[in-house]
Amino acid sequence: MKKQSMWSLRLSTAALVLIPVAVGVNYIGKLIAAFLKLPLWLDSIGTVLAAMLGGPIVGALAGAINNIIYGFTDPISFVYAITSVAIGLAVGILFFKGYISSWGKAIVAGLIIGLVATVVSTPLNIGFWGGQTGNVWGDALFAFILAKTDSTWLASLLDELVVDVPDKLLVVLISFGIFKGLPRNVAQLYNNNGKIETLD
């Protein structure tokens, strides 16, 4: 069974229907986090899962479509579509290279993805909000550092860092846990190697 490249653009139907589910999972994750009054967003579990199941292209598409759809309820998220795409790509690449295969590795991968999200979001935050994130704790830190060091970039980077890294770490761990718990026949469905296309 020859494995197709993870960059294959020929998406199977199963991979395509995975995308709306990923967007739905993101939405539900955010709702539950809000319901349980958790201090994090946890709104990218679907994107991460889609990238694990379907590869970087599916992950990136899920991220982009996710933020476009969110844009219909909250126009600001259009701007952050780039961050979601980066998350989808990063998870897909790490996972298919085998860097998310145990809990220990998943923690490292979570930190890396948190950093990726931070680096992509910071310029957007600066361009759009003057550097803030809209999260109370992060913005308090932003104000503190801005008052101490006179550097908007540093303040904004740290503002995003303290919010994004724990969030993405937890998201990757939760997604990895769920992924491991999936029945094999479900996980196999999206494996992009021509043989499954028959959908027995």
Q: Applying CB under 8 A, which residues contact other proteins?
A: 11-14, 16-21, 23-25, 27-29, 31-33, 35-39, 42, 45, 49, 61, 65, 68-69, 71-76, 78-79, 128-130, 132, 134, 139, 142-143, 146-147, 150-152, 174, 177-178, 181-182, 186, 189, 199
Please state, in angstroms and rounded to a whole number, the distance separating the CA atoms of residues 87 and 151: 27
Give the chain's length: 200
Sign (positive/negative) of CA torsion 83, 86, 92, 95? negative
In 3D, which of 189, 174, 140, 192 has the Cα closest to residue 47? 174
* Least distance in angstroms from the C-beta of 135 to other proteins: 10
The distance in angstroms from the start CA to the end CA of the chain is 17
* Least distance in angstroms from the C-beta of 130 to other proteins: 5
Judged by beta carbon, residue 1 or residue 147, the one nearer other proteins is 147
* Least distance in angstroms from the C-beta of 194 to other proteins: 13
DSSP state, residue 98:
T
Distances 18 to 37, 105, 152 between C-alpha atoms, Å:
28, 25, 39
- The answer to whether residues 120 and 82 touch, using CB atoms and an 8 Å cutoff, is yes
* Least distance in angstroms from the C-beta of 173 to other proteins: 10
Judged by beta carbon, residue 101 or residue 139, the one nearer other proteins is 139
Judged by beta carbon, residue 49 or residue 116, the one nearer other proteins is 49
Distances 60 to 63, 64, 187 between C-alpha atoms, Å:
5, 6, 19
Judged by beta carbon, residue 100 or residue 116, the one nearer other proteins is 100
Judged by beta carbon, residue 43 or residue 116, the one nearer other proteins is 43
* Least distance in angstroms from the C-beta of 138 to other proteins: 11
